A and B are shown apart, each in its own frame.
Chain A
Amino acid sequence: MEEKIIGLKHVNKHYGGVHALKDVDFDLNRGEIHCLIGQNGCGKSTMIKVISGVIDVDEGSEVILDGKKCRGGSARQAMNNGVRVIYQDLSLFPNLTVAENIAFDRHEDKSIKGVSWPQIFKQAEEVLDRMDIKLELESLVEELSIADRQLVAIARALATNARILIMDEPTSSLTRKEVNVLFSIIKSLQEKGMTIMFVSHKLDEIIEIAERITVMRDGKIISTFENKDVDETNLAHMISGQEISYQQQFTACGDEVILEVEGLTCGRQYKDISFSLKKGEILGIIGLLGAGRTELASSIFGMNEPESGRILLHGEEVHFRSNRDAIAKRIAYVPEDRLLQGLVLNQSIENNTIISIIGKLKNRLGLIDKKGARSITRKWIDELHIKSAVPEINASAMSGGNQQKIVISKWLSTEPEILILDQPTNGIDIAAKNTIYELIRELAKKGMSIIMISDEAAEIYYNCPRALVMHKGKIVKELNTSTITEGEFGREVLDE
């Protein structure tokens, strides 16, 4: 049997005037786990579409499947060839049961007549058995956790006898524990002969799972490596094309205490939380998803009333009835999920920026001051270096990193004293991450107090002089990151 299962030779793809893939050569070997990495917009998604046969390539390009030249064009044909893509959004039906989602392809299979529920349940059960996992077949997918939905998506791909599984950012909303489960399933699928292509930008995970790694940049393939030949630092370098080495760059903060939290407790979400935040300080809070960090942050922002304990601003106790009170006291909160909670995607950058201060932006007639709005938006676009941004274009047209900057600028225009950032770089590529870190440091230098919440140890280690570790709703330790190495920090965090 030939080793290569899919080969691309001199593949070019134009979308209108955009040259999305430039003379790409790429091989996927039978039975390997191959990672594709690159920044947003580097051509990864186009690669997925070409390999899965959803789009056709330019004249003169060659796509070879099982040693035979083939032309793309339909998702259905790719499915018949055994290529299945699990998109980032998973493409599941939230309103249908686990069983029907897994066996959904039966409805589109012309050789199967009618709908047989016993057969649907039988097939779903068989697939889950093969994966060696248990899920309630009767549950609706919308009732499942994200991790379980991920498993359903994989099961659905297996149910169609996929030979090649392409996963687009499968870990972006999973906790570390769930990632481990996913990886063990991927490995066991590989043992059973599945070829897996894994697209991600989490370098540590890629190094952990991939046998070969292909780096893309600007529509070109930079190179393909064996896992043993690379590490996180040189991968990061190749992805961005620039040398990025993280350094702890701390600026001294003032002595003035801005925020104090004393014995804050809220049901089973978090218990007995006490800490203080100084002027110009970047305080890290690290903990896994579900450790209670987001709930704590939303309490400080007035959106989740605590049961007991006190919050003090400048030494005075405050009670927020809603986040409007908190905003009035100059607290800002950039939420974890920028698409869901932070941005109005189909509105312009300008409207997104001014929404938090719309009450103040009045002209003499009490209407919205258009000129003022424009100048504020321009100011933040300049100051945060939001590339190629025009106030009029929709937020949905921006890349992840720039969207996050828009969310931050929205809150900065309220001129906050305390800025709470919940997972500020979630789903953002490496280069964009760095610009966000620089922005955070700059803000702190200007005297803003910042609470940075994350589950990425490196992010906290390099940006926050002081970090609180949260576990099961409690602060279990406080770490001074400047006195320990990154490795030590990582171990301290994991070892609750």
Chain B
Amino acid sequence: MNNKTAKNKFFKSYEFMLLCVVIVLTIVLAAATGGKSIKPDNIIDMLTSYSAYGVIAVGCLFVIISGGIDISFMAVAAVAQYLMALYMLNMGGNFVVIYIISIGAGAGLGLINAVLVNRLKVPTLIITIATMNIIYGLMMRFTSGVRLHGFPGWFSQKTEASLLFVSVGTLAAALLTAWFILKRTKMGRRVYAVGGNIEAAKRCGVSVLSVHLFVYGFAGAAAGTGALIKCYLSQQASIEALYGDEMDVLAMVVLGGVSLSGGKGSVFGTLLGIVLVALLSNGMILVGVSSYWKDLVIGAVILISFCITGWRVLAAKKQERKEGAAE
């Protein structure tokens, strides 16, 4: 392996560009807020409040790398959150149990997505929009939109350490797990293979069904975990707590440099995407910009980042064509 080319590649990569943007943005925000934004309190606050969506974004990353897209994750998260909350209210339980419940419920619903995606051969966007609506519809029918709160003491009495552990700790664990799976396991490499060229993957003997089950199951599990974090932070379970924030999560993944046609994306990129969205939202609050502007700014950033990537690809192609013709 040539170390020098690997280094060069990194400096040319999208991730490097993103890292620069994050650093510059941090400095600008620090200057604009008189250092308020880089105070440890604020950083911890920011990380805590964005870790739920961060975890969900990591799950989404898997689906997008495999060449699909999942819109239903917030609905899945809502189900997981409700089940977990109901369990706590009725049976008590402890952290281990509710982690298992929320992860299990999420993964179970994810597996349903996977089977539909694998069998129906319909664009995944359409399938997951359908499952999202079905899940929300059923949830409204069975819960009547009631909020659940008043959880047992072990869950409702938060300390600074437990808060950090449940939010940032879980996010870190999710990121590490995702990194390990994608880089170091056969299944991770199969996810990239299916996203890159599904026909070729089949010809190499990859079981596409198992890859689908894995990625949608993982995305569901991540959504369930995110729901748990959200519930811990807000101390309530409700449908609308998560409803409508799908695009925030997708923005994190997209800004993290995935290719929506599949096959590309990294955990590091997604981490930077999460940080970028968190910085932007948090920064705007600190600077005193109305939160209504947040969506506009995130939209603009996505557009700009896509323009830059697209422009770079075009420039590279033009260069290649000129060089090719001269040969």
Q: Which residues of A are at the interface with B, using a C-beta cutoff of 8 A?
A: 75-76, 79, 87, 89-96, 100, 104-105, 107-108, 114-115, 121, 136-138, 267-270, 290, 292, 295, 472-473
Closest beta carbon of chain B to A326's beta carbon, Å = 20
B230 within 8 A of A: no
What residues on A are CB-neighbors of B56 within 8 Å?
Answer: none
Cross-interface CB contact of B186 among A90, A96, A115, A290, cutoff 8 Å: A115
- A292's closest neighbor in chain B, by CB? B325
Beta-carbon contact of A94 and B263 below 8 Å: yes
Beta-carbon contact of A95 and B189 below 8 Å: no
B199 within 8 A of A: yes
Cross-interface CB contact of B203 among A87, A136, A270, cutoff 8 Å: A87
What residues on B are CB-neighbors of A100 within 8 Å?
Answer: 189
What residues on A are CB-neighbors of B9 within 8 Å?
Answer: 138
Q: Provide the bound-state CA to CA distance between A87 and B199, in Å.
A: 11
B195 within 8 A of A: yes
B267 within 8 A of A: no
- A85's closest neighbor in chain B, by CB? B203
Beta-carbon contact of B192 and A115 below 8 Å: no
Beta-carbon contact of B203 and A91 below 8 Å: yes
Q: Provide the bound-state CA to CA distance between A79 and B205, in Å.
A: 9
What residues on A are CB-neighbors of B2 within 8 Å?
Answer: 136, 138
Closest beta carbon of chain A to B108's beta carbon, Å = 27
Q: Provide the bound-state CA to CA distance between A178 and B203, in Å.
A: 26
Q: Contacts A137-B1, A270-B325 given; 5 further ones with Cβ under 8 A? A: A91-B204, A94-B196, A107-B190, A114-B185, A290-B325
Beta-carbon contact of B322 and A268 below 8 Å: yes
Q: Given A95-B192, A138-B5, do A268 and B323 touch, yes or no (CB 8 Å)?
A: yes
Q: Provide the bound-state CA to CA distance between A57 and B263, in Å.
A: 36
B160 within 8 A of A: no
What residues on A are CB-neighbors of B199 within 8 Å?
Answer: 89, 91
- Can you spell out 15 A-B residue pairs with CB atoms less than 8 angstroms apart? A75-B205, A79-B205, A91-B197, A93-B263, A95-B263, A96-B192, A105-B204, A107-B190, A114-B185, A115-B183, A115-B186, A138-B2, A268-B325, A290-B324, A295-B321
- A104's closest neighbor in chain B, by CB? B204
Closest beta carbon of chain B to A127's beta carbon, Å = 16
What residues on B are CB-neighbors of A114 within 8 Å?
Answer: 184-186
Closest beta carbon of chain B to A170's beta carbon, Å = 16
Beta-carbon contact of A107 and B322 below 8 Å: no
What 4 A-B pairs have minimum CB-CB distances, sorted nearest first?
A95-B263, A91-B200, A268-B326, A95-B196
- A121's closest neighbor in chain B, by CB? B1
- B325's closest neighbor in chain A, by CB? A269
Closest beta carbon of chain B to A475's beta carbon, Å = 14
Beta-carbon contact of B206 and A108 below 8 Å: yes
Flag B263-279 by CB within 8 Å of A: 1 or 0 each: 11000000000000000
- A80's closest neighbor in chain B, by CB? B205
Q: Provide the bound-state CA to CA distance between A179 and B243, in Å.
A: 58
B146 within 8 A of A: no
Closest beta carbon of chain A to B13's beta carbon, Å = 11
What residues on A are CB-neighbors of B200 within 8 Å?
Answer: 89-93
Beta-carbon contact of A295 and B325 below 8 Å: yes
Cross-interface CB contact of B204 among A108, A115, A269, cutoff 8 Å: A108
Q: Provide the bound-state CA to CA distance between A93 and B263, in Å.
A: 9
Q: Provide the bound-state CA to CA distance between A95 and B192, in Å.
A: 8
What residues on A are CB-neighbors of B203 within 8 Å?
Answer: 75, 87, 91
Closest beta carbon of chain A to B204's beta carbon, Å = 6
What residues on A are CB-neighbors of B5 within 8 Å?
Answer: 136, 138
Beta-carbon contact of B1 and A115 below 8 Å: no
Closest beta carbon of chain A to B65's beta carbon, Å = 9
What residues on B are CB-neighbors of A108 within 8 Å?
Answer: 186, 204-206
Which of A115, A270, A473 has the most chain B CB atoms closer than 10 A to its own CB? A115
Cross-interface CB contact of B188 among A115, A267, A268, A472, cutoff 8 Å: A115
What residues on B are CB-neighbors of A104 within 8 Å?
Answer: 189, 193, 204
Instruction: Categorize the interface residue count of chain B.
Output: 35 or more
Q: Is the interface of B mostly helix, strand, loop or mixed?
A: helix
Closest beta carbon of chain A to B182's beta carbon, Å = 10
Q: Which of B274-327 contact A (CB under 8 A)?
A: 321-327
What residues on B are CB-neighbors of A79 within 8 Å?
Answer: 205
Q: Given A93-B200, A107-B190, A115-B186, do A269 and B263 touch, yes or no (CB 8 Å)?
A: no
Q: Provide the bound-state CA to CA distance between A89 and B188, in Å.
A: 24
What residues on A are CB-neighbors of B321 within 8 Å?
Answer: 269, 295
B120 within 8 A of A: no
Q: Which of B158-215 contact A (CB under 8 A)?
A: 183-186, 188-190, 192-193, 195-197, 199-201, 203-206
B6 within 8 A of A: yes
Closest beta carbon of chain A to B69's beta carbon, Å = 17
Q: Which of B191-247 contact A (CB under 8 A)?
A: 192-193, 195-197, 199-201, 203-206
Closest beta carbon of chain B to A173's beta carbon, Å = 14
Beta-carbon contact of B186 and A267 below 8 Å: no
Closest beta carbon of chain A to B326's beta carbon, Å = 4
Q: Which of B60-103 contact A (CB under 8 A)?
A: none
Beta-carbon contact of A138 and B1 below 8 Å: yes
Closest beta carbon of chain B to A272's beta carbon, Å = 14
What residues on B are CB-neighbors of A268 within 8 Å?
Answer: 322-323, 325-326
Closest beta carbon of chain B to A144's beta carbon, Å = 12
Q: Which of B110-149 contact A (CB under 8 A)?
A: none
Cross-interface CB contact of A93 among B6, B186, B196, B205, cutoff 8 Å: B196
Q: Given A114-B185, A115-B184, A138-B9, do A93 and B325 touch, yes or no (CB 8 Å)?
A: no
What residues on B are CB-neighbors of A115 within 8 Å?
Answer: 183-186, 188-189
What residues on A are CB-neighbors of B324 within 8 Å?
Answer: 290
Closest beta carbon of chain B to A177's beta carbon, Å = 10
- A122's closest neighbor in chain B, by CB? B1
Closest beta carbon of chain A to B207's beta carbon, Å = 9
Q: Provide the bound-state CA to CA distance between A143 and B134, in Å.
A: 43
Cross-interface CB contact of B327 among A75, A76, A94, A290, cutoff 8 Å: A290
Closest beta carbon of chain B to A453's beta carbon, Å = 14
Beta-carbon contact of A267 and B185 below 8 Å: no
What residues on A are CB-neighbors of B263 within 8 Å?
Answer: 93-96
Closest beta carbon of chain A to B263's beta carbon, Å = 3
Which of B184, B200, B264 has the most chain A CB atoms closer than 10 A to its own CB? B200
- B1's closest neighbor in chain A, by CB? A121
Q: Provide the bound-state CA to CA distance between A405 and B146, in Å.
A: 65
Q: Given A108-B204, A114-B185, do A93 and B323 touch, yes or no (CB 8 Å)?
A: no
- A76's closest neighbor in chain B, by CB? B205
Q: Provide the bound-state CA to CA distance between A104 and B322, in Å.
A: 33
Which of B203, B259, B325 has the most chain A CB atoms closer than 10 A to its own CB? B325
Q: Provide the bound-state CA to CA distance between A100 and B200, in Å.
A: 14
What residues on A are CB-neighbors of B264 within 8 Å?
Answer: 95
Beta-carbon contact of B322 and A93 below 8 Å: no
Flag B1-12 by CB within 8 Å of A: 1 or 0 each: 110011001000
What residues on A are CB-neighbors of B205 within 8 Å?
Answer: 75-76, 79, 108
Q: Provide the bound-state CA to CA distance between A79 and B324, in Å.
A: 37
Q: Provide the bound-state CA to CA distance between A138 and B7, in Å.
A: 11
Closest beta carbon of chain B to A371's beta carbon, Å = 34
